[in-house]
Structures are given as structure tokens and as C-alpha cells.
């Protein structure tokens, strides 16, 4: 039986073998977040306060991706920038203030259930509280999932890059900040 490529990739049981490509989506997520990290660094400039990565990236995402999705951006940065890029895996998150555990739902194609939208946070069944409680080492009273449709997230990232580049092209201050953050090295002949 032949599967269309998009169906094969969207299922972790590639051609019926669940050992193949269980983490194939990670590269796409890391590439998208890496681009957002790079652009936010360009916008910020060469000097930034230490340990300012999350607010820098979140501010950039609010300006260029969606100003109404601050919570989604915060969770995405923690999941896909801090956990995935540094640990090579998605990891459950935990917010001590709200006692909320966070997980993820990543889809390659348009396969979300009807009630779930791309780049949203949804409340999940309380039955998962015990599982997350052990994983995050804290009292979990709510579970939320970050829902990402991967091709839409890649398109969002491309749109952000185009918007930021167009803005930077017109703004000498942004150009200077980017050049200061990533100076062009001059090679000697």
C-alpha cells in the first residue's frame, strides 16, 4: 500500500513502523524558532541584558506574529526554543504560579480536530494531571496544550521574516542594530 507523502509524514507510524521518524517534526520547529530568534536578535541589536532571550523573542513575536497571543508565544518559546533546541526533545512545561502543566499537539497537515485551531492553547482533559505532575515535579491543577499546525507555522515564520525585512529596509536604526548584532566579517584577500 502506498501512502501520499503528506499522510506518511503526518503520521509517526511511517509506513506502519512506529520506530521511524518519531521526531521528524523537531527539525522544522527548530528551524522556525531559530529564524525568530535570529530576527529578534537583529531587532534588539548587539547589546542586550543577560538572560533576556525570552522577553526579546516574545516581544518580537507580539510585534510581528500576533499581538494577541502572548501566552502562546511564551509557551512556544519555552517548548520549541529552550527545551527543544537545547535538549533535542519537547518537554512538558510547568507554571508554578498557575499550577498549569503544558504539553503540545503538533500536526503536519490539516488534521486537527475541528474544535482546535492552529497556534492556540487549549485546556486538556484533567485525566492527564497525574501524568504531568510526575514529569514536572509540581502540583498540576490544569493541563494545556500548545497546538501547532507545522506548515502553517512555517508560513507564519516566512510572513514574519518578510514583514520584518520590509520594516528593517525602511528603518536605518533597525538596519544599524542588525549590523551591530551580526557584523559582516571582511575577509582579507
Nearest Cα neighbor of 138 from 180, 94, 74, 183 is: 94
Q: Are 121 and 78 in contact (CB under 8 A)?
A: no
In the structure grid, which three cell numbers stand for residue 61, read together?
513575536
The reported pLDDT for the residue numbered 7 is: 46
Which single residue is written with the C-alpha cell 518578510?
A: 162
The reported pLDDT for the residue numbered 6 is: 44
CA separation for the pair 159, 98 (Å, rounded): 33
**What percent of the residues of the chain are helix, what percent strand, and what percent coil, each to the nearest 5?**
55, 10, 35
Tell me the pLDDT tens digit for each residue of 49-58: 677 788 999 9
The reported pLDDT for the residue numbered 120 is: 96
Q: 82-91, 138-147, 160-169 — which is least confidently predicted?
A: 82-91
Q: What are phi and psi of 102, to 5 degrees?
A: -120, 140
At 119, is the pLDDT very low, low, confident or very high (cuts 50, 70, 90)? very high
Q: Does the structure show a pLDDT above 50 at 156?
A: yes
Nearest Cα neighbor of 181 from 52, 55, 44, 58 is: 44
pTM: 0.83
Looking at residues 81-99, what average pLDDT do you find?
A: 87
Orientation of helix 25-44 relative to helix 172-181, angle to 10°: 120
Q: Are 79 and 93 in contact (CB under 8 A)?
A: yes
Q: Does the structure show a pLDDT above 90 at 104?
A: no
The reported pLDDT for the residue numbered 186 is: 64
Helix (H, G, I), strand (E, B) or coil at 27: helix
CA separation for the pair 43, 173 (Å, rounded): 9
Nearest Cα neighbor of 63 from 176, 150, 167 is: 167
The reported pLDDT for the residue numbered 3 is: 38
Q: Are 103 and 125 in contact (CB under 8 A)?
A: no
Amino acid at each position: 500500500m502506498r501512502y501520499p507523502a503528506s499522510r506518511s509524514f503526518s503520521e509517526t507510524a511511517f509506513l506502519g513502523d512506529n520506530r521511524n521518524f518519531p521526531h521528524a517534526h523537531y527539525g522544522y520547529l527548530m528551524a522556525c524558532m531559530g529564524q525568530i530568534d535570529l530576527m529578534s536578535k537583529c531587532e534588539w541589536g548587539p547589546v542586550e541584558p543577560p538572560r533576556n532571550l525570552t522577553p526579546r523573542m516574545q516581544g518580537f513575536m507580539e510585534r510581528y506574529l500576533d499581538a494577541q497571543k502572548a501566552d502562546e508565544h511564551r509557551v512556544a518559546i519555552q517548548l520549541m526554543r529552550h527545551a527543544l533546541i537545547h535538549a533535542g526533545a519537547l518537554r512538558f512545561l510547568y507554571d508554578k504560579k498557575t499550577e498549569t502543566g503544558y504539553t503540545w499537539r503538533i500536526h503536519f497537515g490539516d488534521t486537527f480536530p475541528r474544535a482546535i485551531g492552529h497556534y492556540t492553547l487549549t485546556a486538556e482533559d484533567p485525566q492527564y494531571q497525574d501524568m504531568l505532575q510526575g514529569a514536572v515535579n509540581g502540583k498540576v491543577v490544569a493541563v494545556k496544550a500548545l497546538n501547532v499546525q507545522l506548515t502553517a507555522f512555517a508560513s507564519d515564520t516566512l510572513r514574519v521574516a518578510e514583514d520584518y525585512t520590509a520594516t528593517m529596509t525602511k528603518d536605518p536604526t533597525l538596519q544599524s542594530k542588525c549590523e551591530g548584532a551580526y557584523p559582516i566579517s571582511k575577509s582579507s584577500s
